[in-house]
Structures are given as structure tokens and as C-alpha cells.
Amino acid sequence: MSTEKDTRAPKAQQSHTIKKPETEGTIGGTISIEINEKKLTVPLGTTILDACKQNQIHVPTLCHHDDLCIAGVCRVCVVEVEGMRTLQASCAFPITAPIKVKTSTPEVRKARRHIIDLMLSEHYGECYSCIRNGNCELQSLAKEYGVDGYTFGHVDKPTYEIDNSSYSVIRDMSKCILCKRCVRTCIDLQEVGVLEAIDRGDKTHISTFLDKPLADVICINCGQCINRCPTAALRANDPSDEIWNAIDDPKKHVVIQTAPSPRAAIGEEFGLEAGNSMTYQLNTALKRIGFDAVFDTNFTADLTIMEEGTELLIRLKKALVDKDASVKLPQFTSCSPGWVKYLEHFYPEYIDNLSSAKSPQQMFGALIKTYYAEKIGVDPADVVSVAVMPCSAKKFECNRPEMTDSGFKDVDFGLTTREAAKMIKEAGIYLPEMPKTHFDSPFGDASGAGLIFGATGGVMEAAIRTVVELVLGVKVEDLFEQGNIIPVRGFEGIKYVELPLGDKVGPVPDILKSLVPNWDWLKGATLKVAVVHGTANAKKVMDDIKAGGKFSECHFIEFMACPGGCLGGGGQPIPTTLEIRQKRAKAIYDEDMSLDVRKSHENKHVLKIYEEFLKDGPCGHLSHKLLHTHYTKRGKYMA
């Protein structure tokens, strides 16, 4: 995924991929090699590991991760290359000569076993008391090599204190094997860089700036490091015990909202292939384990589109019609709390570009403890509101001090997909076997537009579906086949799209009449939008905006902190790869296609809430109080 030129990772940890020769495809672009006496032809510069993988030859790995630049530090992947004095790390060896490789000589096997034994000797803990039991690369490796004892001893005391300062990520460095995947994730994939190896020799460990607690550094809580840690050294801050307590407390009315990405991925926790959507089975399971009501976060995703879309139209009108120079454009999406915190730290001067609309999770929180509590006649103080999210940053988000507009903590607990699966398993339920049930009223099932928020480009697609119809007065299907806005889909890191609106505009719908008299001012305009995922890509776009480049001309930009968007979030099942993320995306888009309502403004529950509760409409007085928020200029230096 990462390329040499656009990475900040130390060179010692980079792949130095050999440049593809210009003659690629012709003779000279490939090279003939031998692996285990089998003759093969591979493109010049392929690593030995990739050559093995392509030819179904298994080589164990640990520090290697397909999403990350190459480290070559664990040495578990060593192989013999004929004529070389030492064994070579297959993950870090680009093939540029007709080499002969052996992947399983006595020396190789012994070396791998030694390396595993060494790692285990310093690895504190026992698998049965470990969160990664059954899903741990170190454990699997030990099993693969038949480890049945500690050849070089085993530490019996933790080496480091656990850092549980962060709402999102817990660091237990006594379980760290120094593969540096987290370091590479944080620097290379996310451009944050709060983790680095410090000290030398046996004192080497992964540290934050000045060894500060994670809560006191500029971590954006994205949890991408958790998803790529091969062991339990990094994990999310799990609130499930407190949630059980609430469920078991008869006085409490415990509700839960489920986001689309967990539903597309939670099956993986139960052994299913990636890409099996469990939306309706999950409803049943959550009810069975004791939640009083299950709601669809997509409902507030639809609401977000109404609020954020309206906000965009207001900004555009102010800029284009009122020539108000103080209006900030492009408007940035604000539903990814990792991205929001990234912006607050790295580009605080741009926080006014963020949409003031809260994320769907937080909007729901505010509605549950006001509108919903009132409707069912329960004291909001007795309502406990939980959110199943693909995201570790959502835990931080619900603990932001400003997220209390309902008069209470709007969302009490952010639960990751992994933690939700754990609770379900604990209750003795096998999720895939659950019957399907619908979401509970009064919010019901939401639209496909809210659903696709889970994939990168989804917010933009949902917004376009709505804005096009509300402004142009035509069916989005007339412009885009089946209403699928293909140009904003896909996993390209940065997508830029221009949408000429044409000369025909429609009538202003009732719900927006108080805001704009007509759409004439949008005639002939071209809407410029961009979609960005992964904060490393966000950095590129932000730097371009700072420099006055083409992205500064955009009207609306969707930013997601995590690669792939929420479906690749830091709370999702482990492991993660591009292929897995693509399968989750497919599940989400397929489900969207299967729904009758696929546009936020057609969600009848949304329209009803504007009739019944948020009576002054999108961006009106009450929605401003409950559904909008403000941000903090944090900067890079924290006290």
C-alpha cells in the first residue's frame, strides 16, 4: 500500500522496492529463480516472500504486514539463498538476480524455532488469560512450530506498566514483541507518529513522546495500530463489564445502536468469511443478551445527511450569494472522530471548515436521552446508551466533555465490533444462527444512504443522492445508474470528482424553505468534491489546501481516518487486509442495493422527527442545540 517516496517511516524499515524496469512485460522485466528446486519466473523486484506466496509456498511471518512498509526485524521469515553466508529475511529481499531459494532447510527451521523461543522468553503472560487467545500471530506461530516448552525461559513478571490512560487504546508493552507494526502504522499509514522504538539493546521498547501516557500525546485514537498488532500488546479499552452491569440492573433501560460496518464484519469473529452481513441477526442477538432496544445508527446517518447537507447549502449560499468572505469552504465531514482529532492536532487553523454536525453516533445519543426517553416515558437518567462501532476513536468521542447536550452523557459507552462479539459469545450465542429481526421503533430501519457511510466515499454518495434530488428536483437514478455514484466509490486513497449541476434547478422543498428562497444561484455551478481515507492521505490533501492547490477549490470533502473508511476501523475484527476490507465494502454496497429506501431524505422516520421534534427543520434551533457541536484547537504540543 505504501510507496517509498511518500512515507515518513525510517529507511531502516522501508522496502526499497526495486523500480519496475521500463521493459516490464518483455524479457528483462522478469527473472527466473528457483524455490525449493522448483523453477519459477517472477517480476524483477518481487520479494522472496511474495514469490513464495504466489506459488503456494508457506513462509511464516510476523513483522510483515501487507498494508505496511517492510521492516525485516522479526527474522522469522528467513530462508536460505544459495551462495549467501547468512540466511535472508524473505519479506525484505527483492529478487534482482537468478537466485536459488530454500525455505525449509535444517538451519532455517532451527533458526525460526530459536527466534520464536526467544520471543516467548520475553513475552509476559499466558494465552488463557489473554484477549488475543485464539487470534494471535505469536500464538499461531508457536503452534505451527510445535513449541511445547520455554527453551530459553519465560518472564514471570510484567516488564512494563500497562498504560490504560486512553479512552481508546490500551498499551501492555510486556506483551510486545517489537515487530514495530504499530510504529509503521502510526507513521506510515496514518501520518500521526506518536509511537517509536526508543532505547537500545535489551532496553528497546515502543514508546510515546517522552514516554507519556497515550492520553497525553497526539494519538488520534484511530486504533489502526491495534488492528495490526500481532499480539495483545495493543488492545481497545473495553467497557463491556460496565455494560453487563447496566444490563443486569433492572432499573436501567439499556439501548444500543449498531453502525453499518460492525454488521458487515462481525461475522468474521464467528468464523465466517469476510463480507457476510449480519445486520438482522445482530438485532436478535443483542436483544437476547439483554438490551432493551436496538437502533440503527444509519437513522442518524440519514439525519446527518440532512443536517450536514443543509449546512453545506447554507455555506454555499453565504459564499456565492451573500459574498460572505468569512464562510469556510471546503466543508469537511466530521463523522470520523479520528479524523476530527487529527485535524485538531495537526491543522487546528482549519477547525471551522469542519461541519458542525455531530457524528451519527453522537446525534443518536442526544436523541435517545431526549426525544426517545420522553416518548417511552423513562427518566433519561435511567437510560444507558451504548453504540456498537467499528471504531476505537468513538470511545474517545463519547467521552468528549461537550457531548452532553441532552443534559446527560449523550452516549455512555462505545463498544467495538470485537467487544460486541465477545459479549454475544459470553452469552452463549452463535450469531450466524440467529433469526433475523428488524430494528426497534420509533426509529425503525434506515436508508441505504446511511448504510454506505461505512465505506470510504459513502458519506459523499449519500450527500450527493440527497443534494441532487433536493436541488435539481430530478431523480438521482436519472443521472447515475441505479443511483450508484461510482466515481466516489473504491479504495483509491484520494478521489476528486466534479459534478456540473446544469442549468435546471428544482423547487425548494418545504423542509428547506425557511433557509433559501430558490436554487437559481446554483444554476450552472459545478460542485467539486473529494473523498479521502487514511490520515496519511488526509495530510496530503490538507497540505494541498494550505498551499492553495486544487483541493482548496473543493466545496465538500469527506475525510475518514481509517483506510477503507469505517469498515477498516480500529475496532473491527483482526486481521485486516485490503482484501478483507474490500469484501466488507461489497457486503455494505450489496445491502444498500437490497433496500427499498436508499436516500436519506426519503427516510420516513427522519421526516417524522422533523415534524414531531426538531420542528424548526435541519440546522434549526433545536437541532443546533442537540445535533451540532464545536471543536477544540489542540495543536501538536500537549501540556
Partner 1 sequence: METTVISKATKRTGPVLFADYKRGDGIKKALQMGRDNVLLEVRESKLKGRGGAGFPTATKWMLTAAATCPEKFLVCNADEGEPGTFKDRVLLLEYPELVFDGMVIGGYTIGAKQGIVYLRGEYEYMLKSLEDYLEQMRKDNLLGKNILGVEGFDYDITIRLGAGAYICGEETALIESLEGHRGESRNRPPYPVNTGYNGRPTSVNNVETLASIPHIMMRGGEWFATMGTDKSTGSKLFSISGDCGKPGVYELRWGATIRDILKLVDAQDTKAVQVGGASGVCLPESQFDRQLSYEDTSTGGSIMIFNKNRNMLSILKNFMEFFVEESCGQCTPCRIGNVKLLEGVEMIEKNEFTFEYIRNLKELGKTMQIASKCGLGQSSPNSFISILENFKDEIFNTNRNGGSK
Q: Are 282 and 438 in contact (CB under 8 A)?
A: no
Minimum separation from the CB atom of position 200 to partner 1 (A): 5
- Choose one: 88-96, 154-162, 265-273, 280-288; the region binding ligand FES (CB under 6 A): 88-96
Q: Identify the CA nearest to 449 among candidates 589, 275, 309, 607.
A: 589
Tell me how many degrees the CA angle 338-65-200 measures, rounded to the nearest 5.
85
- By beta-carbon proximity to ligand FES, the closer residue of 230 and 262 is 230
Compute the distance between CA of residue 541 and CA of residue 494 in angstroms, rounded to an integer. Answer: 8
Burial of 114 (0-12, 13-18, 19+ CB in 10 A): middle
Which among ligand FES, partner 1, ligand SF4, none contacts residue 15 (Cβ within 5 to 8 A by kind)? partner 1
Which among partner 1, ligand SF4, ligand FES, none contacts residue 64 (Cβ within 5 to 8 A by kind)? ligand FES
| 194 belongs to the binding site for ligand FES (CB under 6 A) | no
Which among ligand FES, ligand SF4, partner 1, none contacts residue 204 (Cβ within 5 to 8 A by kind)? partner 1
Minimum separation from the CB atom of position 133 to ligand SF4 (A): 5
| 233 belongs to the binding site for ligand SF4 (CB under 6 A) | yes
Q: How far is CA 8 from CA 56, 229, 247, 339, in A?
A: 33, 20, 46, 19
* Contact residue for ligand SF4 among 64, 180, 555, 584 (CB under 6 A): 180
Minimum separation from the CB atom of position 328 to ligand SF4 (A): 25
DSSP-derived secondary structure for 100-167: EEES--HHHHHHHHHHHHHHHHT--S-GGG-TTTTS-HHHHHHHHTT--S-TT----S-SS--B--SS
Per-residue string for binding with ligand FES, 51-80, x by CB under 6 A?
----------xxxx-------xxxxxx---
- Choose one: 121-129, 301-309, 355-363, 417-425; the region binding ligand SF4 (CB under 6 A): 121-129
Q: Are 215 and 167 in contact (CB under 8 A)?
A: yes
Which among ligand SF4, partner 1, ligand FES, none contacts residue 234 (Cβ within 5 to 8 A by kind)? ligand SF4
Task: Specify which residues 533 forms β-bridges with.
Answer: 560
CB neighbourhood size of 87 (10 A): 18
Minimum separation from the CB atom of position 288 to partner 1 (A): 45
- Max distance between CA atoms of the chain, in angstroms, equals 80
- Choose one: 130-138, 238-246, 306-314, 546-554; the region binding ligand SF4 (CB under 6 A): 130-138
Compute the distance between CA of residue 534 and CA of residue 417 in angstroms, rounded to an integer. Answer: 20
Compute the distance between CA of residue 129 and CA of residue 131 in angstroms, rounded to an integer. Answer: 7
Extended strands (E) in 252-370 = 253-258, 293-296, 331-332
Which among partner 1, ligand SF4, ligand FES, none contacts residue 16 (Cβ within 5 to 8 A by kind)? partner 1
* Contact residue for ligand SF4 among 169, 431, 452, 530 (CB under 6 A): 169
* Contact residue for partner 1 among 203, 251, 323, 630 (CB under 8 A): 203
Per-residue string for binding with partner 1, 100-129, x by CB under 8 A?
-------x--xx--xx--xx-xx-------
> Which residue do the cell numbers 436523541 mark?
367
Catalytic residues: 308, 311, 335, 355, 394, 397, 402, 566
Binding site for ligand SF4 (CB under 6 A): 123, 125-127, 130, 132-133, 136, 138-139, 169, 175-182, 185-186, 190, 192, 194-195, 206, 219-225, 229-234
Binding site for ligand FES (CB under 6 A): 61-64, 72-77, 89, 91-92
